[in-house]
Structure 1
Amino acid sequence: MNFILFDGPRRNHLLPFTFTRPVSEIRVGIMTLKERWEAYLKASVTSLTEAYLSVKYPVILEDNNVFIDASILPSKYLITIVGSLKAGEVIKLGEVVIAYCSSSVKTIEELQDFKKIDFNEDIVQINSTWDIFDKNADILQSDFDFITEGRKSQPISDTNRVIHPERIFLEEGARVEFSILNATDGPIYLGKNSEIWEGSLVRGALALCDNAIIKMGGKLYGATTIGPFSKVCGEVSNSVIFGYSSKGHEGYLGNAVLGEWCNIGADSNNSNLKNNYAKVRLWDYATERFEQTGLQFCGLMMGDHSKTAINTMFNTGTVIGVNSNIYVPGFPRNFVPSFSWGGASGFTTYQPAKAFDAAKVMMARRGVEFNEVEADILTHVFELTKKWRKY
């Protein structure tokens, strides 16, 4: 079987994060959606995505392919059904296409002629940007159980104060000293070569992925994921950081999602609760309007390569696009388009040439090259997002 994760109908609802990656590369829990499918299937998986992303994320097509909606998470039962698919068969939950088997990509109309296999169990699906943090606790727990089953954690240093050590797992090279680790409300997972520096307070659930760092005095809780090579400090609550991003100083980040290569300036804060305790509305690129999340707590959504200056403030339910730079004092509006430069007093266009110069320097500090492929993707995003920039 050749397995392919396709973006599916939820892609535009997951912008700005899917401007720069397929749906399959979204991180939630401990793993990305792709990593999770590969772990459950015990097979390599490729992604079917937008043409401008396909150079970085190429798809492999063979004679017999199983196409799976990347926004849907695997389960042991779903893996069994997917693995038994035959050519001309489609798995559906109501009208939701979960997977189908074919020699080529099919449209919804073409799938009407396929043999339907009903799937009647519940599925976990990432339908919106806020699902990434809102569903993180359950997904992180499931990932923890899957990854650690039958394995033994590296020892936890006795300089730490630990509650429920059986729910704490350290991969090879992970280090934590003179910190408090409380796994009462959820597991704590430390990936390979990750570090928690002295004086940190961690209340699970937490996933600190490979090579990520919590700096001295960090306060993290409820369920939070810090992606690979990211650095955090200050107070972080129920947030997901995809990777290679920095929130290295004091300040509050809550009910939030950050893409890759973001930087949050010292003492920056986001609100995650309205003063009147009303449910939060959030910008949805698919509908091009603010949609009701149904959540009372919803903070900041920030696309790749976006940054803030020190003491930046964000209102409840703010969406920042790709490659934006927020530095003017005060609260910027709740939707900031990609490639914006400014803040509360107004914005100008952040020209790609200047944005790319900054990206080259930032990525080089982590040993990653900003190459022509990255530049082409971001140039395409710049063109795609012109209609939302009114300056």
Structure 2
Amino acid sequence: MRSVIFTHQLYQPEKLFPFSLTKAVEELPAGMMNNRRRWEQIVERELQQGSGLYWFIPVNLLPSRQLVAQLKTFSEGDFLQLDKGGILIGYGRAATDFSGTPTGHIPESDADLIEYGWDIFEKNARLLRFDFELLTAGRQSAPVDDGNRLSTAGAVFIEEGADVRCAFINADKGPVYISRNALVMEGACIRGPVFIGEGAVVKMGTRIYGGTTIGAFCTVGGEIKNSVLFPFSNKAHDGYLGDSVIGSWCNLGAGTSNSNLKNTAGNIRVPLPSGVYTAGMKCGVLMGDYSKAAINSSFNSGTVTGICAHIFGAGLSPKWIPSFSWGYDAAIMYDLQKALEHLERWMQTKKQTITENEKALITQIYNQTKTKKS
């Protein structure tokens, strides 16, 4: 029985561009799982459940141990409210049940929400630590091959079927979780907190720093720090990726790197369709699903790309690369049929096939993008 109902009053999809184009907010990967799975596991394992009763939870609200402890005391009809109004989270039979005096107030500054794309990497290290507890509770790690060098072995969890040999894993600053059928090659250096998804490949000599999530069936190499790669994407060669979010089915060509810090050390401004927003001091690239970058691409700090962008050009990239761009010239669009054909071939490299639903969604976004250009 479904015991969680996700509500949508605390986020604006346009601020989560480009990821909200193709994914529901609760399905966005961060930490070691998406927010839907995270909350469903918390409710199933730790919170009260009753017949006909539901937990009403904002799709972009991130849990904490303090919040979960507070929710454990809830009875039917209890709810938390933001100081500025609005139901934050409640337990009852219908959303209309929550009236009267709230069980508690939460200052808006204390509500941990995914509101912008850069929140995904900024909050990823905390989520990795939180999710590690959820995923490893009551479970035993597979034995670690003697050829590996580990620090703080108790914070390293390796699933059965993972192949990890001659790697350096340091979990002093946070846990490391390596999923089944993942391959971590010789000389890889991993410094937690880090998550390696199912079937992912970490190539020889890769350096992965804390706050990083490598999604299922990704292939990675070079240097990666405080970044989230959604499933089925590649950053397979040398180059730097930092403080970034890369959507599904993306590819960064050999030598590609991004800037994540201004020479002035000032806050980075990020262009979105709804306006220009200020991120923190560090922000790399936010890349939508199905986009590809040519070899030796250089991404400016705070760069945003739409979906299905074919990215190439001289010098630093523009900070705004629309969906279906062909190179840096925003006036030229990637032909839809060629984009679908190329994506079909790309998916075959990972033994996947594009679905009719994916084709329909990509076509819809293409038509919307073309209409805006005309």
State the one-letter code of the partner of 1:334.
K
Cα distance in 1 for residues equivalent to 2:8 and 2:324: 24
CA separation of 1:167/1:65 partners in 2, compared to 1, >3 Å: closer, same or farther? closer
Identity of aligned residues (%): 35
5 Å-filtered alignment, 1:154-303, equals 154-285=142-273, 288-293=274-279, 295-303=280-288
Q: Which residue of 1 aligns with 2:48?
A: none
State the one-letter code of the partner of 1:177.
R
Are residue 309 (structure 1) and residue 311 (structure 2) matched? no
Deviation at 1:157, TM superposition (A): 1.0
Deviation at 1:149, TM superposition (A): 2.6
Q: Which residue of 2 aligns with 1:49?
A: none
Deviation at 1:103, TM superposition (A): 7.2
CA separation of 1:149/1:65 partners in 2, compared to 1, >3 Å: closer, same or farther? closer
5 Å-filtered alignment, 1:51-130, equals 66-75=55-64, 76-77=68-69, 79-80=71-72, 84-86=75-77, 91-94=80-83, 95-99=85-89, 114-115=99-100, 117-120=102-105, 122-130=110-118
State the one-letter code of the partner of 2:303.
T
Deviation at 1:384, TM superposition (A): 3.5
Equivalenced residues, count: 360
Deviates more, 1:145-154 or 1:231-240: 145-154
Q: Which residue of 1 aligns with 2:332?
A: 348
Is the partner of 2:254 in helix, strand or coil?
Answer: coil
Deviation at 1:186, TM superposition (A): 1.3
CA distances 1:207-257 after superposition (whole Å, capped 9, x unpaired): 001111111111110210001111110100100011110111111100000
**1:34 aligned to which of 21, 24, 36:** 36
Deviation at 1:346, TM superposition (A): 5.2
Cα distance in 1 for residues equivalent to 2:153 and 2:242: 26
Deviates more, 1:230-239 or 1:189-198: 189-198
Deviation at 1:191, TM superposition (A): 1.2
Deviation at 1:66, TM superposition (A): 4.4
Cα distance in 2 for residues equivalent to 1:284 and 1:71: 19
CA separation of 1:290/1:266 partners in 2, compared to 1, >3 Å: closer, same or farther? same
RMSD of equivalent CA atoms: 2.4
Structure 1 stretches of 4+ moved >6 Å: 101-104
Deviation at 1:201, TM superposition (A): 1.1
Is the partner of 1:42 in helix, strand or coil?
Answer: helix
CA separation of 1:386/1:99 partners in 2, compared to 1, >3 Å: closer, same or farther? farther
Q: Which residue of 2 aligns with 1:19?
A: 21
State the one-letter code of the partner of 2:63.
P
Is the partner of 1:130 in helix, strand or coil?
Answer: helix
Q: Which runs of 5+ in 2 are unaligned?
A: 46-50
State the one-letter code of the partner of 1:377.
L
Are residue 383 (structure 1) and residue 367 (structure 2) matched? yes
CA separation of 1:63/1:369 partners in 2, compared to 1, >3 Å: closer, same or farther? farther
Cα distance in 1 for residues equivalent to 2:370 and 2:81: 37
User: TM-score, structure 1 length as denominator?
Assistant: 0.85
Q: Which runs of 5+ in 1 are unaligned?
A: 44-61
Is the partner of 1:117 in helix, strand or coil?
Answer: coil
Is the partner of 2:181 in helix, strand or coil?
Answer: coil
Cα distance in 2 for residues equivalent to 1:235 and 1:113: 48
Cα distance in 2 for residues equivalent to 1:100 and 1:386: 42
State the one-letter code of the partner of 1:322.
I
